[in-house]
């Protein structure tokens, strides 16, 4: 390779590396702001804001969904399999909302530690399968592991 | 491949074959995805959007990498063909990005409950669209096309840092967007009957990009070289 071209090649490589490093530092500094939601463990540990609105994500605990009245109020627990936070929500839930499903809710903490949600979004997982396969998975989960 | 006239003749010969293969792949992929594949156990028929959404999202990243690499080759070796392929890729990549964003949004409303959320995956993909638009705009703003190609290549290389961010955003941060299904290291968490049409569509989209970038590059080459001998010979033959 001619020296001029070699120099240009090194210049370009250096530029790409420098930008990557700068972006890495930047993203690292704003790591917390880039998180779309807090996990229940972080909320219990007091890392989530006390008064401001934030998002809470987790799995809906099996058997925890209750509708106390005949209005749209619904109560359920969210877990990351370490800690549990109770959530209250008034409104229409998305189609994919069900027990054992991951969801993300936006709202704020009440003083008694219950999370009052203003919005509930379903977080879909990355698994795709026909219903028959899902049914047989449920029957014999250890077969496929 | 280095000389424009040779590039022009060679691509003219292979284009019909590529088009045939592309039509075949997309037709079988669509049939397999929309008719043959079973409905998903949770999402029902709505999951079928992945047969357009996922290939376009993959292509939006792939085209950008091609554009940046061709831009770098143009910067270092001053190869005309590389410059032309780089700039011809930009509108196609922008279209794939737009398609990925729109189909994702259409799916997001019924499944997540929202058209749009500012999570890391969606935001970085939107930035990718703006990068493509920036490349197109910058190229159009500079009169001398060889200078424009150099400016555009630097912009494309700066934006290259966004590509790994988009890909790993769902692993590095909490996002509403689900994690990778097909490209993770252990076996894909999608049933084979659903995976095969997806891969056919991905192949079809790759070929579609190849075809459209070649057509655009041929046009761009003729325009740039309009004063040269091989173009006037080409015109005389007609």
User: A100 and A79, same structural domain?
Assistant: yes
| Residue A99 covered by a domain | yes
* Residue B187 reports pLDDT greater than 90: no
Asked if A36's CB is within 8 angstroms of B43's CB, the reply is: no
Which 3 state secondary structure label does DSSP give B50?
helix
Q: Read off the CATH number of the domain in which A53 is found.
A: 2.40.50.140
* Contact between A114 and A87 (Cβ < 8 Å): yes
Helix or strand run (H / E) with residue B145: helix B145-159
pLDDT at A126: 75
User: A108 and A88, same structural domain?
Assistant: yes
Asked if B173's CB is within 8 angstroms of A104's CB, the reply is: no
Domain ranges of chain B: 4-237
Asked if B72's CB is within 8 angstroms of A12's CB, the reply is: yes
Which 3 state secondary structure label does DSSP give B215?
helix
Neighbours of B147 (CB within 10 A): 10
A15: contact with B, CB 8 A cutoff: yes
Mean pLDDT of A123-130: 78
User: A83 and A47, same structural domain?
Assistant: yes
- ipTM, two decimals: 0.78
pLDDT at A145: 38
For residue A67, what are the CA distances in angstroms to A17, A88, A89, A97, B113?
Answer: 55, 10, 10, 14, 20
Instruction: Give pLDDT tens digits for A82-117.
Output: 889 999 999 888 878 888 888 889 998 988 889 999
* Contact between B98 and B128 (Cβ < 8 Å): no
How many helices (DSSP H) and strands (DSSP E) are in chain A?
4, 5
User: A70 and A96, same structural domain?
Assistant: yes
Mean pLDDT of B225-236: 86
Which chain B residues contact residue A40 at CB under 8 A? none
Q: Give the C-alpha separation, B128 to B134, whole Å.
A: 10
User: A59 and A19, same structural domain?
Assistant: no
The full DSSP string for A36-102 is S-B-HHHHHTT-S-SSS-EEEEEEEPTT--B--SSSSEEEEEEE-SS-EEEEEEESPPPTT--TT-E
User: A85 and A14, same structural domain?
Assistant: no
* Contact between B56 and B103 (Cβ < 8 Å): yes
Asked if B176's CB is within 8 angstroms of A36's CB, the reply is: yes
Residues of chain A numbered 26-85 and touching chain B (CB < 8 Å): 27, 31, 34-39, 57
Distance from CA of A103 to the nearest CA of B (A): 8
Q: Give the C-alpha separation, B153 to A22, whole Å.
A: 20
User: A105 and A55, same structural domain?
Assistant: yes
User: A68 and A18, same structural domain?
Assistant: no
pLDDT above 90: percentage of residues in chain B: 67
Pairing between β-strand A115-123 and β-strand A84-90 as defined by DSSP bridges: parallel
- Identify the residue among B176, B183, B193, B198 best suited for mutation to test binding to A, counting A beta carbons within 10 A and taking the highest: B176
Distance from CA of A9 to the nearest CA of B (A): 6
Instruction: Give pLDDT tens digits for A31-66.
Output: 777 778 888 888 888 888 878 888 898 889 888 888
User: A112 and A43, same structural domain?
Assistant: yes
pLDDT at B188: 67
**Minimal Cα distance from A136: which residue of B?**
B41
Read off the pTM: 0.88
pLDDT at A22: 93
Letter string b/e over residues A14-37, b meaning 16 or more CB atoms within 10 A of that residue's CB: eebeebeeeeeeebeeeeeebbbb
User: A88 and A117, same structural domain?
Assistant: yes
A16: contact with B, CB 8 A cutoff: yes
Domain that holds residue A27: 3-32
Asked if A20's CB is within 8 angstroms of B111's CB, the reply is: no
pLDDT at A92: 83
Q: Give the C-alpha separation, A114 to A29, whole Å.
A: 30
Q: Give the C-alpha separation, B178 to B181, whole Å.
A: 8
* Residue A144 pLDDT level (bands cut at 50, 70, 90): very low
User: A46 and A99, same structural domain?
Assistant: yes
Instruction: Give pLDDT tens digits for B15-74.
Output: 999 999 999 999 999 999 999 888 888 788 888 999 999 999 999 999 999 999 999 999
Asked if B47's CB is within 8 angstroms of A19's CB, the reply is: no
Averaged pLDDT score across all residues of chain B: 91
pLDDT at B71: 96
User: A44 and A26, same structural domain?
Assistant: no
Q: How many domains does chain A have?
A: 2
């Amino acid at each position: 390779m001619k020296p001029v071209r070699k120099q240009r090649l090194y210049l370009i490589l250096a530029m790409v590396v420098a930008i990557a490093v700068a972006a890495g530092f930047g993203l690292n500094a704003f790591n917390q702001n880039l998180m779309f939601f807090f996990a229940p463990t972080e909320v219990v540990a007091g890392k989530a804001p006390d008064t401001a609105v934030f998002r809470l994500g987790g799995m809906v605990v099996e058997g925890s969904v209750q509708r106390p009245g005949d209005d749209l109020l619904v109560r359920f627990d969210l877990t990351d399999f370490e800690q549990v936070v109770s959530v209250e929500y008034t409104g229409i839930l998305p189609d994919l909302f069900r027990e054992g499903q991951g969801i993300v809710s936006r709202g704020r903490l009440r003083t008694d530690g219950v999370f009052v949600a203003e919005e509930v979004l379903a977080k879909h997982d990355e698994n795709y399968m026909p219903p028959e396969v899902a049914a047989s998975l449920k029957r014999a989960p250890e077969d496929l592991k | 491949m280095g000389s424009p006239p040779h590039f022009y003749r060679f691509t003219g010969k292979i284009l019909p074959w590529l088009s045939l293969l592309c039509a075949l792949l997309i037709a079988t992929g669509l049939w397999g995805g929309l008719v043959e594949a079973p409905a998903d156990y949770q999402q029902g028929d709505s999951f079928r959007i992945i047969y357009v959404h996922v290939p376009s999202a993959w292509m939006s990243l792939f085209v950008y990498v091609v554009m940046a690499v061709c831009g770098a080759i143009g910067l270092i070796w001053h190869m005309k063909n590389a410059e032309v392929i780089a700039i011809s890729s930009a509108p196609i990549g922008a279209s794939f990005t737009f398609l990925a964003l729109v189909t994702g949004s259409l799916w997001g409303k019924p499944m997540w409950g929202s058209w749009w959320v500012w999570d890391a995956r969606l935001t970085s993909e939107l930035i990718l669209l703006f990068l493509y638009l920036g490349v197109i705009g910058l190229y159009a703003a500079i009169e001398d096309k060889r200078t424009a190609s150099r400016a555009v290549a630097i912009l494309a290389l700066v934006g290259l840092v966004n590509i790994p961010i988009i890909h790993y955003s769902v692993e590095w941060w909490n996002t509403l967007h689900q994690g990778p299904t097909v490209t993770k290291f252990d076996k894909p968490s999608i049933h084979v009957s659903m995976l095969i049409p997806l891969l056919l569509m991905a192949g079809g989209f790759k070929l579609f990009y190849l075809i459209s970038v070649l057509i655009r590059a041929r046009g761009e080459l003729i325009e740039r070289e309009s004063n040269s001998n091989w173009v006037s010979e080409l015109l005389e033959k007609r």
